């Protein structure tokens, strides 16, 4: 009751109608797609409905292209090809001469209708419309007798409660894949929740999201259902239909139970091509080319100079994961994306930008990146640099080399602006001590400016006393101190 209490206590009567409309709309989409997703993973259609109470999505829809390609054979009534994505796509092209044209007309017609309704009447449950029309067409025109495949018998009634499987070793075998499914399910569901939380202005409790996901999957597993997940498409339908609270979800769950008890026979005449069209229409929006273009566009000349080809790290990781799924499979593709992200993160962390700074005339304390302001001249006697990253063992040598490269024969002091350094480890603190010592042998003093508390703490704890003595509150203070020292020595 604790989880329900917040929205139950604050429920308003004015929300009832939009919640009911939203619940009916989501139920219409959910039932058809649950049956479809069950057929995708090769289990009886009713299993999709077992998994739908109160949450949907038992199949990993990490990459919509794989799902769409898997539905094309049902859409056209051709043999399902074996092999990976690209081999299957080529096989489908060669099988176009074997298409069952009546099935293709039914499936493509349903797909077009769902797409048109989504654009011209977004509040209308297009999936329910095409499902109803498909069932009516089978019963009125005997499409099944003319070669159009239908869903067929669906067991009515509620599932029995019990542990799945009879061999305990299966649990250990599935532990690895389960972790991968968990990652995909949580990230996808959380993305949908965050998008609508930001749009509607409410706070999101990620712990509650994860708890709900776990409870739903435990319940689905004990009742013989599929893996379930928060659904972006159902969230979108729920929001577009005007849902105001969790009451719409409660109604969806209740209607799904009613469907299991009394309405399964209604869906037995559903044409398989229509089912395929519903799935394709639901996931085609996930083929988000615009997002890939946006990731590719996150680039600038300065970023290119700093990180080179890794400047488009997000785009590279996204394309790597996409190709990994298409070439290898879903879980290997996920790990390819994760591995690429880690490699790119390490690469970018190991090569942080060390900016040469110039002072903006007439503005106290304002220091700018010299590469972005070529019209401003840097003073030759005091080199001011800013390290735009944390300082760790992986990048300490690179930072040292970049600082040394900025030194000229006229340099009397180096000031390191540490305001953009959120953290430092002992290896980097030792590097600064060695740098201070090496510069000192050349008659150059090292000063640190604007170092935050933990940077000072680590430098002090690492016994880099000479470096600690040269820490100043601001870059201006450090430059002034460096020039006083140079004047005193001169």
In a domain, 79, yes or no: yes
Q: Answer yes or no: do 168 and 260 share one domain.
A: yes
- Residue pair 394/350 in contact by the 8 Å Cβ criterion: yes
In the predicted model, what is the mean pLDDT of residues 251-273?
81
Q: Answer yes or no: do 141 and 225 share one domain.
A: yes
In the predicted model, what is the mean pLDDT of residues 38-64?
50
Structure tokens at 59: 């199949």
- In angstroms and rounded to an integer, the radius of gyration of the C-alpha atoms of the chain is 31
Domain boundary residue, one of 286, 305, 321 = 286
pLDDT, residue 357, reads: 92
* Residue 144 confidence class, pLDDT cut points 50, 70, 90: confident
Q: Supply the pTM of this predicted model.
A: 0.67
Q: Is 53's pLDDT higher than 50?
A: no
- Strand 354-359: give its sheet, edge to edge: 367-369, 354-359, 382-387, 413-417, 445-449, 471-472
In a domain, 8, yes or no: no
What is the residue range of 308's domain?
Answer: 289-350
Q: Tell me the C-alpha to C-alpha distance, in Å, between residue 82 and each of 40, 71, 91, 105, 253.
A: 14, 13, 8, 25, 36
Q: Answer yes or no: do 422 and 333 share one domain.
A: no
CB neighbours of 119 closer than 8 A, spacing ≥ 6? none
SS3 383: strand
Q: Answer yes or no: do 267 and 408 share one domain.
A: no
Closest residue by Cα to residue 349 from 393, 300, 305, 406: 393
Closest residue by Cα to residue 461 from 432, 425, 431, 434: 425
Q: Answer yes or no: do 260 and 297 share one domain.
A: no
Domain boundary residue, one of 335, 350, 365 = 350
Among 38-47, 193-202, 239-248, 315-324, where is mean pLDDT lowest?
Answer: 38-47
In a domain, 9, yes or no: no
More confident residue, 272 or 8: 272
Structure tokens at 50: 């077992």
Half-sphere exposure of 303 (CA within 13 A, CB side): 11
Q: Which stretches within 328-384 are classed as H helix?
A: 330-350
Q: Answer yes or no: do 192 and 219 share one domain.
A: yes
Q: Answer yes or no: do 91 and 236 share one domain.
A: yes
Is the Cα torsion angle 413, 419, 421, 425 positive or negative in sign?
Answer: positive
Domain boundary residue, one of 286, 320, 342 = 286
Q: Answer yes or no: do 228 and 152 share one domain.
A: yes
SS3 444: coil
How does pLDDT run across 84-119, given as a tens digit for each residue? 888 888 888 888 888 888 988 999 999 999 889 888
Q: Is 312's pLDDT higher than 50?
A: yes
Q: Is 59's pLDDT higher than 50?
A: no
More confident residue, 324 or 7: 324
Q: Is 4's pLDDT higher than 70?
A: no
How far the first Cα of the chain sits from its last, in Å, is 77
* Residue 254 confidence class, pLDDT cut points 50, 70, 90: confident
Task: Count how many domains the chain has.
Answer: 3
Q: Answer yes or no: do 198 and 295 share one domain.
A: no
In a domain, 225, yes or no: yes
Between strands 413-417 and 445-449, the pairing is parallel
- Residue pair 365/474 in contact by the 8 Å Cβ criterion: yes
Q: Answer yes or no: do 167 and 194 share one domain.
A: yes
Cβ burial of 290 (10 Å; 0-12, 13-18, 19+) is exposed
- Residue pair 22/268 in contact by the 8 Å Cβ criterion: no
What gap in Å lies between CA 479 and CA 387, rounded to an integer? 16
Q: Answer yes or no: do 337 and 257 share one domain.
A: no
Closest residue by Cα to residue 353 from 313, 304, 317, 316: 304
More confident residue, 402 or 270: 402
pLDDT, residue 49, reads: 56
SS3 380: coil
pLDDT, residue 6, reads: 65
What gap in Å lies between CA 118 and CA 451, rounded to an integer? 55
CB neighbours of 4 closer than 8 A, spacing ≥ 6? 246
Q: Answer yes or no: do 332 and 476 share one domain.
A: no
CB neighbours of 126 closer than 8 A, spacing ≥ 6? 113, 114, 117, 118, 281
In a domain, 5, yes or no: no
In a domain, 120, yes or no: yes
In a domain, 3, yes or no: no
Residue in the structure block whose two tokens are 């000031």? 415
Report the CATH number at residue 465: 3.30.750.24
What gap in Å lies between CA 229 and CA 184, rounded to an integer? 9
In a domain, 273, yes or no: yes
In the predicted model, what is the mean pLDDT of residues 466-481?
80
Which string of DSSP letters, residue by residue, matches 445-468? EEEEES--HHHHHHHHHTT-HHHH
């Amino acid at each position: 009751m604790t989880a329900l209490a917040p929205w139950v206590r604050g429920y308003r009567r004015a929300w009832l109608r939009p919640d009911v409309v939203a619940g009916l709309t989501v139920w219409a989409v959910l039932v058809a797609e649950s049956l479809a997703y069950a057929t995708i993973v090769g289990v009886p259609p009713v299993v999709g409905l077992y998994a739908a109470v109160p949450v949907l999505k038992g199949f990993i829809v990490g990459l919509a292209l794989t799902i769409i390609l898997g539905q094309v054979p049902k859409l056209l009534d051709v043999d399902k090809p074996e092999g990976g994505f690209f081999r299957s796509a080529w096989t489908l092209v060669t099988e176009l001469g074997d298409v069952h044209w009546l099935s293709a007309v039914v499936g493509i017609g349903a797909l077009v209708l769902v797409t048109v309704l989504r654009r011209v009447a977004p509040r209308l449950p297009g999936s329910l419309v095409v499902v109803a029309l498909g069932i009516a067409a089978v019963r009125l025109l005997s499409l099944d007798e003319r070669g159009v495949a239908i869903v067929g018998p669906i067991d009515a009634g509620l599932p029995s409660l019990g542990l799945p499987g009879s061999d305990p070793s299966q649990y250990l075998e599935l532990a690895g894949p389960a972790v991968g499914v968990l990652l995909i399910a949580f990230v996808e569901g959380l993305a949908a929740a965050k998008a609508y939380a930001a749009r509607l202005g409410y706070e999101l409790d990620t712990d509650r999201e994860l708890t709900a996901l776990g409870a739903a999957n435990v319940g689905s597993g004990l009742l013989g259902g599929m893996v379930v997940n928060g659904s972006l498409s159902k969230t979108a339908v729920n929001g577009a239909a005007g849902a105001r609270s969790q009451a719409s979800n409660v109604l969806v769950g209740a209607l799904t139970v009613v469907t299991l008890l009394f309405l399964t026979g209604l869906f037995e005449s559903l044409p398989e091509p229509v089912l395929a069209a519903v799935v394709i229409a639901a996931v085609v929006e996930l083929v988000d080319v615009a997002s890939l273009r946006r990731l590719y566009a996150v680039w600038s000349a300065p970023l290119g100079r700093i990180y080179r080809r890794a400047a488009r790290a997000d785009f590279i990781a996204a394309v790597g994961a996409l190709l990994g799924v298409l070439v290898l499979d879903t879980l290997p593709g996920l790990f390819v994306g994760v591995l690429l992200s880690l490699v790119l993160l390490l690469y970018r962390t190991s090569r942080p930008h060390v900016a040469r700074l110039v002072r903006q005339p007439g503005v106290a304390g304002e220091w700018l990146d010299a590469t972005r302001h070529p019209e401003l001249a840097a003073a030759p006697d005091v080199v001011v640099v800013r390290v735009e990253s944390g300082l760790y063992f992986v990048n300490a040598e690179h930072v040292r080399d970049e600082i040394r490269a900025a030194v000229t024969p006229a340099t009397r002091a180096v000031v390191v602006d540490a305001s953009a350094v959120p953290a430092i480890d002992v290896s980097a603190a030792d590097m600064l001590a060695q740098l201070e010592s090496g510069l000192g042998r050349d008659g150059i003093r090292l000063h640190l400016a604007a170092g935050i508390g933990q940077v000072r703490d680590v430098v002090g704890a690492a016994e880099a006393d000479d470096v600690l003595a040269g820490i100043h509150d601001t870059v201006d203070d450090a430059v002034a101190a460096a020039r006083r020292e140079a004047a005193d020595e001169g």
